[in-house]
Every structure is written in structure tokens, then in C-alpha cells.
Amino acid sequence: MKEFKHTPVMLDECISGLNIRKDGIYVDMTCGGGGHSVKIAKKLGNSGRLICFDQDGDAIEACKRRLSPFSCVSFVNDNFKNAKAVLNAMGISKVDGILADLGVSSHQIDTPERGFSYLLDGTLDMRMDVRQQKSAFDVVNFYSQEQLKNIIYKYGEEPFAPKIAAAIVKARAKGEIATTAQLKQVIESVFPKRMIFGKGGVSKKTFQAIRIEVNGELELLQGAVEDFISLLAPGGRLAVITFHSLEDRIVKNAFKLAATDCICPPKTPVCICGHKAQIKLITKKPILPSETELATNSRSHSAKLRVVEKLN
């Protein structure tokens, strides 16, 4: 297995936001290369505990090696959508802090056979959990033109979505699209040359959209955030890092709802909904990477960190 390398985004800001107690129970929902997890583990005492989740088996194995000096750590190779059930099965009903870094790891991007990058030629895969059946190959080669157009526009916010979808369908009629290089070539065929050779890659948004579809990233996020909040003990903190507007919107709205007492229509004279705030917003606006981090870690661009605290 290729060495699992990943520079954690906004590391100090995350640790500060979690307000870690030595004897607390903490969960890293996306442990990746273990950068955030190591820093959390270092702050825990003998009675503290850290549970590391990741659906990527490579990430779990990398974390086990990196965190081997710490006896307080447990590892779970599963999607965070199942975290509540898994933790309950472990006898854990409440935790003192949760971190969820929703970004794709550097290891995943830099490993050609994983198929996440339009800059590297590899198998058209994009599965974060290689145990699942559906891959990017299936989406690209078997989705209808209408389905492709919709996901590229919705998840990639790509204005060229109709042309890209039509080009994919036309290309695959001549033979399957099996590699990232083939897909990139098809995508670029619909763009003017001045855009292809300009700043940034014109394939980026489409690759992002297909990756989101393959892994069902946005479909599970709303419910997962609600589960995270319900798992927090009073005073517990939840820190979430997002990397694109659709993710951030879901997290922002979920936090806003959970931090609101009454959700009755504005003209209702007396509250009848019974809704009570579960959290308070620690970050009214998202924390962004520092200029120093942006200069040294290109993959921190577009990252946003939001932190909330569970009320009593």
C-alpha cells in the first residue's frame, strides 16, 4: 500500500474548537491520515478515549500505525452515517467531542488507481469505501444523459453540464470510458481551448460531482450532522470542516435549526412547536485557513470550519 500522506487542515483551530478534556471521549469521524487524531490523542489522559472512524480501509490501517503509541484509541472501518449505532453497540451513548473533516484525503487524490484526480491517469473508481459496488465507472458508463447532466450541474455547479453529459454519452457509445484520462479528455472536448489552458482544470467540477454521487456524500450528511449533535454530552463540542458550498450549506442550516428555540411561522402569536435549541454556535461565521496555511497547503483552499457546543 502506498504511504498514506495527508496534511490536516486547520489543525490548531480544530483542536482549539474541540476544547478537549483529558478524561473525555472523542470521535474523529474521518480519521484519514491521522493528523487530527494524533493531536487529539496527545491531549488525552489515561481515562480519556478516542474512537477513529473511516470508511477507507487504507486510512484505518495508516491510523493504526500512526497512533500505535496511544492505548486510548479504537478504530472503526465504517461510514460515519453508522456512527451512532456503532458507538451504542460499544456502550457509548454520549461523547465530549466530535470532529468531521469532509475533505478527500491527499492519499486518495494522489493514488492513481483510486481514480479521484483528473491530474493522474488511473482507474475510473472514486470509491471512498472500496467494499461498495458502485464506482465512477458505473456512473459514467451507465447513467442516462439526463442523470449525468443533473448530477454534474447539481453537485459540481458546472454550467457546461448539458454539453459534458452529451459528450460522455457520445463517447461511451464508441467504447467504455474506463480511465480518468479518458474522462478528462471527453470533458475537455466541450470547452474552448482558452479555458482548458487557463488557470485551473475544467474537469475539476465534473470529477467532484461524480465523486459525490458515487459516495452519496450529500445524501447522508444532513442525517449524520443530526446524529452527531444527539451524541454530544452537555458542553460537548462538534467541529465540522467542509470544502464546497453544498456541504457547507447543509452543515450551516443544520446548525442553525439546532441552535433555534422556536421554529413556528413568524406570525404565530404563541409558540406551539415545542422546539428547543440543542446547541449554541461557537463560530457565528466559519473559520477560514490562515494566509500561512493557504500558502503551504494548497488543499486547504475553500475549507470552512464550523464549531458548536451542546447545551445542558
Return the beta strands (E) in 149-292 as ranges.
232-242, 279-281
How far is residue 131's CA from residue 57's CA, in Å, rounded to a whole number?
9
Q: Which domains does the chain have, with CATH numbers?
A: 11-107+218-310 (3.40.50.150), 133-215 (1.10.150.170)
DSSP element (H, E) containing 73: strand 73-76
Phi and psi at residue 5, to the nearest 5°? -110, 135
SS3 268: coil
Instruction: Report DSSP state, residue 104.
Output: P
Separation between Cα atoms, residue 260 and residue 200, nearest integer Å: 40
Sequence-distant contacts of 263-266: CB under 8 A, at least 24 apart: none
Asked if 305 contacts 239 with a C-beta cutoff of 8 angstroms, the reply is: yes
pLDDT of residue 91: 96
Give 280's strand partners.
309
Query: Cα 200 vs. chain centroid, distance in angstroms?
Result: 22
What's the start-to-end Cα distance of the chain, in Å? Answer: 45
Kindly state the cell numbers that stand for 283: 463560530
Residue with cell 493557504: 294
Buried b / exposed e over 292-311, threshold 16 CB at 10 Å, is: ebeeebebbeebbbbbbbbe
Tell me which H or E stretch contains 292: helix 291-296
Q: 108 burial class (0-12, 13-18, 19+ CB within 10 angstroms)?
A: buried
Q: Which residues pair with 305 in a beta bridge?
A: 241, 287
This prediction has a pTM of: 0.91
Beta strands in 243-303 (DSSP E): 279-281
Whole-Å CA distances, 38 to 12, 76, 228, 304: 12, 16, 21, 21
Average pLDDT per 10 consecutive residues for the chain, totaling 312 residues: 71 97 97 94 96 95 94 96 97 98 86 93 95 97 98 96 98 97 96 81 95 94 96 98 95 96 88 92 97 92 96 91
